């Protein structure tokens, strides 16, 4: 079958022929109809995560999918051939830039009925990231103040909608050109990151969803209320992540060192820093599908490329990607 893979870290994405996947007893074989692209795909390609996400080559990229069930393993009871599903496969089952993919059933949910495959394929990773940051980690409540960086991007555009659904007062950073767009998504306040410094705003926040890292992360700690939390999705990783990932003691020590400075600053300010590396969850995707079908969440698709142009799609992503998600569509 056709797929798009890399043969080494730093190598360009290329079309390849690979064997059709086998289906284990707890897995579902899905004919991919759409695959959303994420910054994680580019970071894996360039080797940024090779210490914590080691892969054997060739590596078929792709972390999002929407498609049709073709077959199910002997232990699968909740899906049948013909079902329309969407999901984000766990780290050892990635590879959605392919005609077929075998995915653990626990990582899938029925596709939202109100959207098409391209829209559904744009959602899993970013929607799960937003859910796990705001619901699982942040326990966001009505009336709390939330700051979401890069609100026009893939994660930000979904996080704004989810935070608003949870009853939060939502501030986001975006360019002036995207102000109307993020306000339509639900943002109450928009800070133009090109002309304004969000640290100078009077508001203080219960939670900041931080996706940029570096100095932006340090400043985000300083705009929290006492007891508030920055949930970072760009890093640096923290010791809790290293434990959950089952990394060896040497890597755990190294990761602890990477985040030591920011954790010290957080403690001094009376706030918290938590690194979030999104985990697969079909159960959470089921909740998200309900919100989509209720009209509380809408997918934000910026560009759709045909499967044959997957290389160009990833190159577009690497240059910034623009508003919303980039999706590869399969006939």
| Per-residue pLDDT tens over the stretch 90-134 | 988 999 999 999 999 999 999 999 999 999 999 999 999 999 999
DSSP state of 100: E
DSSP state of 81: T
Interatomic CA distance for residues 131 and 122, integer angstroms: 15
Structural domain for 108, as ranges: 2-123+299-329
Place of tokens 């133009």: 192
In a domain, 166, yes or no: yes
Same-domain status, 131 and 255: yes
Find out whether 233 and 211 touch, Cβ atoms under 8 Å. yes
In a domain, 59, yes or no: yes
| Per-residue pLDDT tens over the stretch 28-81 | 999 999 999 999 999 999 998 887 778 889 999 999 999 999 999 999 999 999
Domain count along the chain: 2
Q: Note the pLDDT of residue 115.
A: 98
In a domain, 289, yes or no: no
Same-domain status, 19 and 93: yes
In a domain, 15, yes or no: yes
- Both tokens of 171, joined, read 């501030």
Q: What is the CATH number of the domain that holds 143?
A: 3.40.50.720
Same-domain status, 243 and 136: yes
In a domain, 261, yes or no: yes
Mean of the per-residue pLDDT values of the chain: 95
Same-domain status, 86 and 45: yes
Same-domain status, 129 and 266: yes
Q: What is the CATH number of the domain that holds 11?
A: 3.90.180.10
Instruction: Classify 293 as helix, strand or coil.
Output: helix
Same-domain status, 193 and 118: no
Q: Note the pLDDT of residue 255.
A: 83
In a domain, 225, yes or no: yes
**pTM for the full predicted model:** 0.95
Same-domain status, 136 and 119: no
Q: Identify the burial level of 294 via C-beta atoms within 10 angstroms of its C-beta, where 0-12 means exposed, 13-18 middle and 19 or more buried.
A: exposed
Find out whether 148 and 163 touch, Cβ atoms under 8 Å. yes
In a domain, 290, yes or no: no
* Kind plus residue range of the DSSP H or E element containing 251: helix 249-269
């Amino acid at each position: 079958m056709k797929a798009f893979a890399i043969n080494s870290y730093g190598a360009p994405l290329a079309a390849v022929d690979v064997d059709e996947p086998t289906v284990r007893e707890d897995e579902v074989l899905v004919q991919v109809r759409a695959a959303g692209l994420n910054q994680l795909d580019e970071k894996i390609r360039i080797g940024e995560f090779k210490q914590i996400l080691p892969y054997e080559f060739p590596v078929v990229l792709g972390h999002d999918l929407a498609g049709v069930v073709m077959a199910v393993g002997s232990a699968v009871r909740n899906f049948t051939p013909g079902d329309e599903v969407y999901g984000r496969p766990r780290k050892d089952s990635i590879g959605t830039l392919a005609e077929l993919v075998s995915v653990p059933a626990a990582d899938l949910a029925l596709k939202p009925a109100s959207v098409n495959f391209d829209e559904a394929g744009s959602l899993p990773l970013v929607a799960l990231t937003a859910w796990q940051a705001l619901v699982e980690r942040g326990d966001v409540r009505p009336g709390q103040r939330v700051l979401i960086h890069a609100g026009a991007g893939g994660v930000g555009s979904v996080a704004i909608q989810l935070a608003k659904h949870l009853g939060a007062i939502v501030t986001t950073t975006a360019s002036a050109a995207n102000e109307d767009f993020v306000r339509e998504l639900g943002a109450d306040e928009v800070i133009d990151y090109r002309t304004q410094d969000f640290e100078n705003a009077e508001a203080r926040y219960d939670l900041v969803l931080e996706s940029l890292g570096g100095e932006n992360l340090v400043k985000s700690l300083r705009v929290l209320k006492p007891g508030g939390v920055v949930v970072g999705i760009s890093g640096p990783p923290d010791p809790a992540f290293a434990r959950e990932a089952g990394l060896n003691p040497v890597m755990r020590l190294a990761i602890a060192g990477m985040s030591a400075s920011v954790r010290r600053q957080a403690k001094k300010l009376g706030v918290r820093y938590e690194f979030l590396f999104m985990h697969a969850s079909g159960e959470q995707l089921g909740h998200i599908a309900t919100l989509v079908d209720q009209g509380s969440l809408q997918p934000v698709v910026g560009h759709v490329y045909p499967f044959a142009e997957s290389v160009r799609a990833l190159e577009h992503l690497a240059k910034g990607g623009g508003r919303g998600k980039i999706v590869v569509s399969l006939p």
